[in-house]
Amino acid sequence: MFRTDKMNSIESSERTVVRVAAAGSEADPPEAVKRTDARVVPVGSTGVTALEPLVAVTRGGRTAFHARCSVDRLEGVVAAAEEADDVTAGDPDAVVDHDPDATRLPAVDLPGLSAGRRDVLGACGWRRPTSADDHEAAGGFADHDAADVFDAGADLRGRGWGDACHDDPVGESWATARDADGDAAVVVNAHGSPADALLLASAPLEVLDGATTLADAVGATEVVVYASSDDARAVETAREAVEAHPDPVVPVEVVTGPPEYRAGEPTMALEAIEGNHRLEARLRPPGPERVGLDGRPTLVHTPRTLAHLAVGLRGDDGDEGGDTRLVTVRGDVETPATVELPETASLSAAVDAVDVDGTLKAACVGGRFGGLTADLGVAAGPDALADAGLGTEGVVEVLSEGRCLVEFVGRRTRYAAEENCGRCVPCREGSTQLANLLRDVYDGEYDPEGVAELVGVMERSSICEFGVNAGRPARTATTEFALEFEAHADGQCPAGNCFDAREAPEVTTST
Amino acid sequence: MSSDRSEVDVPPLTEGIAPGTATDPDVGSDEAATVTVDGTDVTVPAGSTLLDAVDAVETDGYVPALCHYGRQDIGPRSECRTCMVETESDGVVPACSFPAEDGAVVDTDAGEAAEARDVNLDLVLSDHNLRCTTCGKNGRCELQDASIDQGVEEPRYGVLDDRDQYEPLDDSSSFIQIDRNKCILCNRCVEACNDVQVEGVLRMEGTGNDTRIGFQNGAETMEDSTCVSCGHCVTVCPTGSLVEKGIENATTIPIPGFNQKNSIGKTYENTDSTGSSGTVGRSDNQMTPQKRDQRTLESEEAPPESDGPDVVDPASEVWDDERRDWP
Ligand code: SF4
Ligand code: SF4
Ligand code: SF4
Ligand code: FES
């Protein structure tokens, strides 16, 4: 057997390829492994960190997976496979047969990785995050007609609150930006969403491909990737990917903003990129697609939206067809996970991908200001979620049996009161008064109509989505879990948390 | 990167002015438009908002439009949301910052819009020290007028009545008194100071319920700010938050010992009058207005190095609510 790197993309027909998927730093493989013929390649996280480091040993069309495989174990696994000339040696946790040229992580029967599809997440845990060769081998960096791009934009809906087209088809704003005066810009807003941070860290070229393709189609002159300074790895990987991009049509730069939640709001993202020391939302209309970064027409999309564009354009979105959604499950779970579900699949499929701490009582669906529900039978698509009064942020926060929902909602509302940008009355004063209404419950005054009236006004008159959504936890909880609020008004906490906590105000840390 | 950006397109005069507010787009209409407000057709010129049309007719519902100023290019800040109206095409919108488009049909009486105006005015009052009897603006206060016209009797959320929550009165300047407990954060003073006077003294600072007007040089009191006492901010302030010295008690009920200062309880006095320094009050002989450049973002530095698995740790939050008590 001879060693050659004639192809720089990962290729396993002639020698074994060992992928090590992890979110953390790439430890150097042990010397003993390096001396074998196997080629060890670090790849990004799959999204299911509970399995990591996940080692995938591939030869031709067969891959053996070893979950939570330490560097020490790696040596044994590789040695066994090489010795037996059989990837399935070394007692793997799962073995999968697939297309020998597979460019996506094949479906594998491991907890978390068997859920849903892997279209947009295909590169995560399979291709090297910053390898242009791997991305090209998967059909990336193709040229696309502007007309095709606009066709794709007609059906594509913006993902997440950081997207200026949250839940809306993006095409119209693309046409506006293309036709507006001034040099357009594309902003990739990766701030604050776990799925977006995952894409930037594990599949940044997918995101950049989408962004530069869009920039080309609308005639933009610049792409700015914006992320939280807290997502160090995502930022670093994005910077490397920009370097690795063989032929970006426009200059791409990576900029970080402060880690506060509000800094992910699309117009606050623009303020941060422009260098303002204090962030507050801008008025609209006109939206950023007409007047955005430095006054130029600007398209603000999340990595999720842009990766969906890139994958959709090359027709790589699976055999089943239909749109998918990235869903991150966190909260009272052993280890958080991000999976990809068809829009028609129910959220419970995502929750099945994790180990819940205890039993599930409810979930906060739709991010920081998601809606509370005990029914996870609702489909992952935005319309079904909106019909159920839930949020579409792509995050399901699991709340286990011991949780008091009145407390949860109270804390979330107080968070809104302290973390909003301070600009508009319905959000700034409204969230403070909403927290007061929720505090009054503990004094026996529960006013569900007052809560509904206030939340309605916050939703309909706040400047940005922060305030529009800030009352959602309270609105959904007071309708779906009214009994729990009534019990508190009677001095009882069904979960047994609140009234003790009140007498003994001790610092509790439960995360 | 970002720091370079902040140099771009900033006119030299305003370079270094950091008001802490967002750069809003121009919200007026592109061209002249005819708008129907409560059944009456109104034609407004290019650059108009729906409020221009609303103001031109006798409306069915009262539209306080409290934070709107509409002169000297100040605003729209569009923060009070007491100007919400219903439109046929776009639902409930803020009239003061929504472009007047030809053919728009506005209903001021629609339930959801009227409720929003009503609740938002009560929300403004909830954070307002309603001690009108000791206020220098009593009788010429836009919040008072709006509340009377709106027929507010008992604001839903009460008023700011807890003395422990009061911010100290800033009486340190010889010309202007600041009572932040009466501030509605309309930003008029900040714009007057920065955009009209180009003095770069006032700014918006803080977040959430700690949002307040402050000073760009970081001073805690007016006396230590770079104020040149031009007085423009006072003339635009709708409430008793910024009042000219000398008339701060003009409308106080004449009972001895009953005045604006003791309505608050805590006051920043002029350091001269408290005898702590031999200098004349700073506001009299402002020498070197030191304008601070705040247009820097600490995040410009490279992200902190970290070797732990930091990416897929969605539980990480800047703000840890769990560590604090509730209720
Ligand atoms: S909704 Fe909240 S975060 Fe958004 S502009 Fe208003 S105060 Fe700021
Ligand atoms: S009086 Fe002072 S704070 Fe007010 S506008 Fe003039 S310079 Fe600015
Ligand atoms: S001090 Fe007056 S003008 Fe300035 S923000 Fe407050 S209310 Fe508005
Ligand atoms: S007048 Fe429109 S928001 Fe204040």
* Residue B13 confidence (pLDDT): 56
* Residue B320 confidence (pLDDT): 64
Ligand 3: centre distance to CA B23 (Å):
19
Percent of chain A with pLDDT over 90: 82
What residues does each domain of chain B span? 33-125, 163-271
Pairwise CB contact (< 8 Å): B211 & A410: no
The pTM of the full predicted model, rounded to 2 decimals, is 0.90
* Residue B319 confidence (pLDDT): 58
Q: Does domain B163-271 have CATH number 3.30.70.20?
A: yes
pLDDT digits (tens, 9 = 90+) for B178-231: 999 999 999 999 999 999 999 999 999 999 999 999 999 999 999 999 999 999
Pairwise CB contact (< 8 Å): A283 & B24: yes
pLDDT digits (tens, 9 = 90+) for B268-289: 888 765 444 333 333 333 333 3
pLDDT digits (tens, 9 = 90+) for A325-362: 999 999 999 999 999 999 999 999 999 999 999 999 99
Query: CB under 6 Å to ligand 4: residues?
Result: B 65-68, 78-83, 94, 96
CB of B199 sitting under 6 A from ligand 2: yes
Distances (CA, A) of A424 to A198, A283, A484: 33, 10, 31
The mean pLDDT of A259-272, rounded to a whole number, is 97
- Would you say the C-alpha torsion A16, A22, A28, A32 has a positive or negative sign? negative
A contacts of B20 (beta carbons < 8 Å): 276-278, 280
Is the separation of the CB atoms in A327 and A351 below 8 Å?
A: no
Pairwise CB contact (< 8 Å): B124 & A425: yes
Burial class (CB in 10 A: 0-12, 13-18, 19+), A485: buried
What is the position in ligand 4's atom list of the atom closest to the CA of B65?
Answer: 1
Answer yes or no: is pLDDT of A28 > 80.
Answer: no
* Residue B324 confidence (pLDDT): 77
CB of B192 sitting under 6 A from ligand 3: no
* Residue B3 confidence (pLDDT): 41
Answer yes or no: is pLDDT of A511 > 60.
Answer: no
What is the position in ligand 2's atom list of the atom closest to the CA of B228?
Answer: 7
Look up the CATH number of domain B33-125: 3.10.20.740
* Residue B299 confidence (pLDDT): 38
Ligand 2: centre distance to CA B70 (Å):
19
Ligand 1: centre distance to CA B207 (Å):
10
Please tell me whether residue A51 adopts helix, strand or coil conformation.
helix
Strands (E), A71-176: 94-97
* Residue B156 confidence (pLDDT): 94
Pairwise CB contact (< 8 Å): B309 & A461: no
- Give residues 86 to 115 of A whose Cβ lies within 8 Å of B: none
- Give residues 215 to 234 of A whose Cβ lies within 8 Å of B: 229-234
- Put simply, whether A260 touches B (Cβ < 8 Å) is yes
Answer yes or no: is pLDDT of A320 > 80.
Answer: no
- Residue from the list B2, B205, B325 with its beta carbon closest to the beta carbon of A255: B2
pLDDT digits (tens, 9 = 90+) for A198-219: 999 999 999 999 999 999 999 9
Answer yes or no: is pLDDT of A465 > 50.
Answer: yes
The mean pLDDT of A64-77, rounded to a whole number, is 91
**Which domains are seen in chain A, by residue range?**
10-119 (3.40.30), 146-313 (3.40.50.11540), 324-400 (3.10.20.600), 405-489 (1.20.1440.230)
Ligand 2: centre distance to CA A170 (Å):
44
pLDDT digits (tens, 9 = 90+) for A39-69: 899 999 999 999 999 999 999 999 999 999 9
* Residue A8 confidence (pLDDT): 74
* Residue A166 confidence (pLDDT): 97
Q: In a mutational test of the pocket of ligand 2, which residue from B229, B288, B291 has the highest number of ligand atoms less than 8 Å from its CB? A: B229
Of the candidates A43, A36, A45, A53, the residue with the CA atom closest to the CA atom of residue A9:
A43
Answer yes or no: is pLDDT of A388 > 80.
Answer: yes
- Chain B nearest-CA distance from A448, in A, is 14
Q: What is the mean pLDDT of chain A?
A: 92
Answer yes or no: is pLDDT of A416 > 80.
Answer: yes
Is the separation of the CB atoms in B108 and B59 below 8 Å?
A: yes
Ligand 3: centre distance to CA A444 (Å):
37
Ligand nearest to the CA of A464: 1
Mean pLDDT by 10 residues, chain B (327 residues): 44 74 96 97 97 96 96 94 97 98 95 97 93 88 94 92 87 95 96 96 96 96 95 96 84 66 78 46 38 40 39 45 74
* Residue A3 confidence (pLDDT): 34
- Chain A nearest-CA distance from B272, in A, is 33
Pairwise CB contact (< 8 Å): B318 & A253: no
Measured distance CA(B75)–CA(A41) in Å, rounded = 57
pLDDT digits (tens, 9 = 90+) for A109-159: 999 898 778 999 999 999 999 999 999 999 999 999 999 999 999 999 999
pLDDT digits (tens, 9 = 90+) for A205-255: 999 999 999 999 999 999 999 999 999 999 999 999 999 998 889 999 999
DSSP string over B211-273: -EEEETT--SSGGGS------HHHHH-SSTTEEETT-TTTTS-S-TT-SHHHHH--EEEPTTT
Percent of chain A with pLDDT over 70: 94
Measured distance CA(B266)–CA(A56) in Å, rounded = 68
What is the position in ligand 2's atom list of the atom closest to the CA of B202?
Answer: 3
Q: End-to-end CA distance of chain B, in Å?
A: 43
* Residue A498 confidence (pLDDT): 87
